[in-house]
């Protein structure tokens, strides 16, 4: 009889695990409390406008291809993937930089605004390629025992891990101009950290974008969740919507199944937690059961920043870049406001996704769906968003209209929705509204991160941003690969 796997949450990690395990003959059931699949990677519909609720960057598309291939499927049978010819536009004080994968053209563009740093770019790409090659095996493997640090794959990577450097310091060895340093360090935002506190090993993030490109699935990144759900169902997995899990059913520290909000109890051989880790362990497990990840200890962990997110349906389509990042004039101060002083930024950095310039399916003809993401402190800050949101919203509009070519944005808005950190926490069940989960400091990475095979509860597994290898859509898919393969291996033994 097939072993029964229950998955809490139909986010991308849970759906990827469902696909992979169903393809190996397991009986898989996924329980999602919302009306739609995808979790943070779901579609948001406002009138006739379509948005990605969360992730809007897709890089390392080959990882998604690997998930489908493992399950005997082809990703491209489900999604039309569009590769962006220019990755994004970066706006500094009085200058801007359009980033391309063409190495010689990129060198030329860098030298135009920072003479000499073009050679640094070539050195960065060459050396970071070697770093990437030794780090990948670690990112693809379980890291749940301290003796794993003595494995050959870790030992050979040690000289490349930049353990004593921050990302900013690591990148500074290649570039002199502060603007170019920003261009190769802002990716720490994907981890919810500043480049001054993010470990130097994460210089692989800008390298990945430049080497492997950035993609847009037609219809949005949310289409990846839709494709995985469809493939999982074809393979026999059952996905229940509006059936939320209230608690884990335990016998001591052995997980026996789940209890739904309806009161129904469902038994399982293994349970995979795809819901937010800290939220799950503080609400679905009784106080006193967990030690390492007790409510008190989770409260004291370090978490990522949050975001103020705007979804704007416009009656105009701006012929501008698909992705634009506007850097705060004092970028270091802005970064410190997010995770150190926990202040609401008065000079924010802003990310704008103008996906309709690439994808006409997202808005009515002549219109566009504009997504705006502003990093802000998580709920630890105590910021009263009911009091401050309107003023902050106006600041975001003012900054965009002043510093970009979206200079008449306000008058073209026909429909709008915003999500504050408070709403990320309350509506999406994200602990502290920390959308990138636990921060990625060295003391919370690899063996020190919650293990894929959760160390405090038997028959309990994790996928998502809180477990190894970390947050970000591609790494969440890697976590699903690690967990699914480990369950298959356990069954064989």
Looking at residue 154, what is its pLDDT? 62
Spell out a b/e string for 409-436, using b for 16 or more CB atoms within 10 Å of the CB, else e: beebebeeebbbbbbbbeebbbbbbbbb
Share of the chain above pLDDT 90, in %: 87
> Between β-strands 49-52 and 43-46, what pairing exists: parallel, antiparallel or unpaired?
antiparallel
Looking at residue 137, what is its pLDDT? 74
Looking at residue 155, what is its pLDDT? 62
Looking at residue 209, what is its pLDDT? 95
Looking at residue 94, what is its pLDDT? 86
414: Cβ–Cβ under 8 A, 6 or more apart, which residues? 47, 313, 314, 315, 367
In this model, does residue 354 exceed pLDDT 60? yes
Looking at residue 69, what is its pLDDT? 99
pLDDT tens readout for residues 24-37? 999 999 999 999 99
- The average confidence (pLDDT) of the chain is 94
Share of the chain above pLDDT 70, in %: 96
Q: How many angstroms separate the CA atoms of 129 and 400, rounded?
A: 35
In this model, does residue 42 exceed pLDDT 70? yes
pLDDT tens readout for residues 270-296? 999 999 999 999 999 999 999 999 999
Whole-Å CA distances, 146 to 87, 256, 284: 38, 28, 28
Chain-centroid distance, C-alpha 196: 20
Q: Nearest CA to 415 among 87, 46, 18, 165?
A: 46
Looking at residue 134, what is its pLDDT? 82
Spell out a b/e string for 442-457, using b for 16 or more CB atoms within 10 Å of the CB, else e: eebbbbebbbbbbebb
Q: Nearest CA to 205 among 138, 124, 277, 140?
A: 124
Looking at residue 262, what is its pLDDT? 97
Looking at residue 162, what is its pLDDT? 67
Looking at residue 190, what is its pLDDT? 84
Assess contact for 339 and 194: CB atoms under 8 A.
yes
Assess contact for 371 and 355: CB atoms under 8 A.
yes
Q: How many angstroms separate the CA atoms of 79 and 330, rounded?
A: 40
Q: How many angstroms separate the CA atoms of 350 and 375, rounded?
A: 7
pLDDT tens readout for residues 236-281? 999 999 999 999 999 999 999 999 999 999 999 999 999 999 999 9
Looking at residue 221, what is its pLDDT? 98
In this model, does residue 159 exceed pLDDT 70? no
Looking at residue 203, what is its pLDDT? 93
SS3 47: coil
What the chain holds in terms of domains, given with CATH numbers, is: 4-39+221-301+440-492 (3.50.50.60), 107-191+199-206 (no CATH), 305-428 (3.30.519)
Looking at residue 289, what is its pLDDT? 97
DSSP 8-state secondary structure symbol assigned to residue 464: S
pLDDT tens readout for residues 87-112? 999 999 889 999 999 999 999 999 99
DSSP 8-state secondary structure symbol assigned to residue 166: B
Other CB atoms within 10 A of residue 379 CB: 21
């Amino acid at each position: 009889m097939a072993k029964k796997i229950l998955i809490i949450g139909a986010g991308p990690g849970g759906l990827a695990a469902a696909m992979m395990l169903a393809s190996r003959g397991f009986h898989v059931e996924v329980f999602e409390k919302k009306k739609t699949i995808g979790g943070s990677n779901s579609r948001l519909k406002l009138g006739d406008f379509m948005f990605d609720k969360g992730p809007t960057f897709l890089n390392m598309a080959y990882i998604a291809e690997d998930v489908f291939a493992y399950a005997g499927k082809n990703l491209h049978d489900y999604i039309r993937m569009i590769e962006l010819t220019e990755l994004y536009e970066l706006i500094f004080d009085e200058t801007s930089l359009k980033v391309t994968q063409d190495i010689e053209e990129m060198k030329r563009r860098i030298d135009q605004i920072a003479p000499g740093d073009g050679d640094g770019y070539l050195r960065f790409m060459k050396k970071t390629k070697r770093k990437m090659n030794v780090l990948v095996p670690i990112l693809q493997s379980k890291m749940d025992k301290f003796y794993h640090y003595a494995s050959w794959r870790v030992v050979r990577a040690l000289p490349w891990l930049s353990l004593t450097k921050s990302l900013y310091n690591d990148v500074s060895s290649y570039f002199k101009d502060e603007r170019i340093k920003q261009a190769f360090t802002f990716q720490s935002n994907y981890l919810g950290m500043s480049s001054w506190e993010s470990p130097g090993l994460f210089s692989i993030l800008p390298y990945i974008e430049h080497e492997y490109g950035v993609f847009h699935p037609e219809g949005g990144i949310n289409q990846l969740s839709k494709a995985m759900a469809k493939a999982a169902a074809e393979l026999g997995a059952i996905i229940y919507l509006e059936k939320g899990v209230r608690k884990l059913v335990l016998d001591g520290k052995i997980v026996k199944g789940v209890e739904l909000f309806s009161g129904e109890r469902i038994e399982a051989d293994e349970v995979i937690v795809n819901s937010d880790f800290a939220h799950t362990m503080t609400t679905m497990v009784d106080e006193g059961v967990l030690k390492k990840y007790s409510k008190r200890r989770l409260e004291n962990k370090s978490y990522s920043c949050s975001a103020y997110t705007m979804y704007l349906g416009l009656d105009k389509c701006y012929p501008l870049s698909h992705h634009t990042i506007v850097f705060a004039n004092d970028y270091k101060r802005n970064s410190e406001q997010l995770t150190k002083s926990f202040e609401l930024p008065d000079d924010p950095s802003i990310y704008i996704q103008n996906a309709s310039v690439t994808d006409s399916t997202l808005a009515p003809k002549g219109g566009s769906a504009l997504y705006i993401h502003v990093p802000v402190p998580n709920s630890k800050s105590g910021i009263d968003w009911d009091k401050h949101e309107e003023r902050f919203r106006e600041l975001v509009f003012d900054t965009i209209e002043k510093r970009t070519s979206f200079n008449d944005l306000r008058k073209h808005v026909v429909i709008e929705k915003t999500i504050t950190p408070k709403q990320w926490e309350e509506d999406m069940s994200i602990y502290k509204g920390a959308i990138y989960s636990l921060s990625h400091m060295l003391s919370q990475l690899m063996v020190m991160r919650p293990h894929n095979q959760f160390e405090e509860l038997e028959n309990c597994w994790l996928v998502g941003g809180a477990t190894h290898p970390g947050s970000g859509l591609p790494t969440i898919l890697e976590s699903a690969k690690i967990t699914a393969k480990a369950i298959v291996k356990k069954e064989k033994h």
